[in-house]
């Protein structure tokens, strides 16, 4: 039996120190240790999102979708929202916003592509939008948006810029304060590499001032209920609105400790090199990447696999030691699979993944030149190994 590596699109490659931090302590949510873990994690959340002290950080139970839905706290009755979507997770805003008394319009790109910056800007320029939602890395395709460029182009035309960084924060650059982004959200289990169970976000001062408006939120995810206790944690105290994901927060704090030691600069470079090596390897094996070349992310890659039973292929890869993810984008669902290279990804994982893909391709009857993918990847990975 082969032991398995998780290279799903999140959770992804495990770090046992981080995961086991969630189960070690027999500690309650009112303990000084928990208060300290929250204070530290809220501070580090500002660091990894490039938010400064004017931003309020939140850590709430749930995950990415909870963080997304909590953003309704900043909207009012009849707020007009532009939803920019490159795939399934951008589309999720439609599902969320349609439950609330707000208006929205959708700008959608084809699979593997991104809505162009000038299209977003011209739509917002026409006016009347209170908020825009943008997904930094679209997990259904691996497409990354040029967030700095987009934020600069649209800032004058919209009050609230909301970025879903669930598949990017921790592996891609995000400078919320410098780029003037109001809300940046993520989840514990993706590129931050901690246990699943928490949604995270930072909100600018101007976003926070909107919490004074009458609420259209439900009860649990109304950030008005969470804002005060986050301030208490930041001040070194504690607080309760609903039981927090205690283990996840300890795991998150350990993850942030490791990120602080590694530094975000080095961590992003590690993600970039591993993803470039991986893509070089699969292209060398004759496969095509879903995302257009200039839009490929550090954290997720979608790979076309035409005329193949994808389920069988994924099982063959699993038998060779790596779990990947199936496709989910409705336009191309049965024609591709996805790989997560995020969090604690290292060069060795890339080599093992390419080895499993080669073996699985051969088992489905494809011709692949032996070791071609690994040798191609090695030329990129050697750069960090030798550095």
Which residues make up the interface to ligand PMP (CB under 6 A)? 10, 63-65, 89, 135, 139, 164, 166-167, 187
> Given the complex with ligand PMP, which of 93 and 233 has the nearer CB atom?
93
CB of 129 to ligand PMP, least distance (A): 21
Vertex 258, ends 20 and 320: CA angle to 5°?
Answer: 60
Nearer to ligand PMP, 95 or 237 (CB): 95
Angle in degrees, CA 375, 377, 383, rounded to 5: 110
The encoded tokens of residue 374 equal 């690994």
- Is 133 within 8 Å of 90 (Cβ atoms)? yes
Considering beta carbons, is residue 73 or 135 the nearer one to ligand PMP? 135
Residue 286 · residue 358 · CB < 8 Å:
no
Closest contact distance (angstroms) between CB of 164 and ligand PMP is 5
**Minimum Å distance from CB 346 to ligand PMP?**
22
Q: Identify any residues that bridge with 57 across adjacent strands, giving them in sequence order.
A: 202
C-beta atoms surrounding 37 within 10 Å = 25
Dihedral angle over CA of 171, 287, 364, 342, nearest 10: 0
Decide whether 291 or 316 has the Cβ nearer to ligand PMP: 291
Q: How far is the CB of 168 from ligand PMP (least distance, A)?
A: 8
Least CB distance to ligand PMP at residue 90 (A): 8
Closest to ligand PMP by CB, 64 vs 373, is 64
The least CB distance from residue 220 to ligand PMP, in Å, is 14
**Structure token pair of residue 240:** 């309760």
Query: For residue 92, which of 342, 328, 336 has the smallest C-alpha distance?
Result: 328
Q: Which is nearer to ligand PMP, 104 or 157 (CB)?
A: 104
Q: Any bridge partners for residue 200, and if so which?
A: 59, 186
């Amino acid at each position: 039996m082969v032991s398995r590596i998780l290279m799903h699109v999140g959770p992804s490659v495990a770090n046992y120190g981080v995961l086991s931090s969630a189960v070690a302590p027999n500690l309650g949510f009112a303990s000084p240790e928990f208060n300290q873990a929250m204070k530290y994690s809220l501070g580090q959340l500002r660091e990894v999102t490039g938010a400064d002290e004017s931003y309020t950080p939140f850590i709430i139970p749930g995950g990415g979708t909870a963080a997304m839905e909590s953003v309704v706290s900043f909207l009012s009755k009849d707020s007009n929202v532009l939803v920019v979507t490159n795939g399934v997770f951008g589309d999720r805003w439609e599902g969320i916003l349609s439950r609330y008394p707000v208006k929205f319009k959708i700008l959608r790109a084809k699979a593997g592509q991104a809505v162009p910056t000038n299209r977003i800007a011209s739509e917002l320029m026409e006016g009347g939008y209170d908020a825009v939602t943008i997904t930094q890395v679209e997990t259904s395709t691996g497409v990354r948006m040029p967030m700095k460029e987009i934020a600069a182009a649209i800032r004058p035309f919209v009050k609230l810029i909301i970025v879903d960084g669930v598949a990017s924060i921790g592996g891609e650059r995000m400078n919320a304060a410098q780029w003037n982004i109001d809300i940046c959200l993520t989840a514990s289990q993706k590129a931050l590499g901690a246990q699943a169970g928490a949604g995270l976000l930072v909100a600018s001062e101007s976003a926070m001032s909107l919490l004074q408006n009458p609420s259209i939120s439900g009860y649990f995810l109304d950030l008005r209920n969470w804002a005060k206790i986050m301030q208490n944690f930041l001040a070194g105290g504690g607080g309760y609105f609903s039981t927090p994901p205690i283990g996840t927060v300890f795991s998150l704090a350990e993850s942030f400790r490791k990120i602080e030691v590694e530094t975000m600069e080095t961590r992003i470079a590690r993600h970039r090199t591993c993803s470039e090596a991986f893509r070089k390897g699969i292209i060398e094996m004759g496969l095509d990447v879903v995302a257009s070349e200039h839009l490929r992310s550090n954290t997720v890659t979608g790979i076309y696999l035409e005329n193949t039973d994808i389920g069988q292929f994924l099982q063959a890869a699993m038998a060779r030691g790596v779990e990947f993810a199936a496709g989910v984008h409705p336009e191309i669902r049965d024609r591709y699979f996805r790989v997560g290279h995020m969090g604690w990804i290292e060069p060795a994982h890339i080599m093992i993944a390419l080895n499993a893909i080669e073996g699985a391709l051969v088992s489905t009857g494809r011709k692949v030149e032996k070791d071609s993918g690994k040798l191609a990847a090695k030329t990129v990975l050697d750069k960090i190994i030798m550095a």
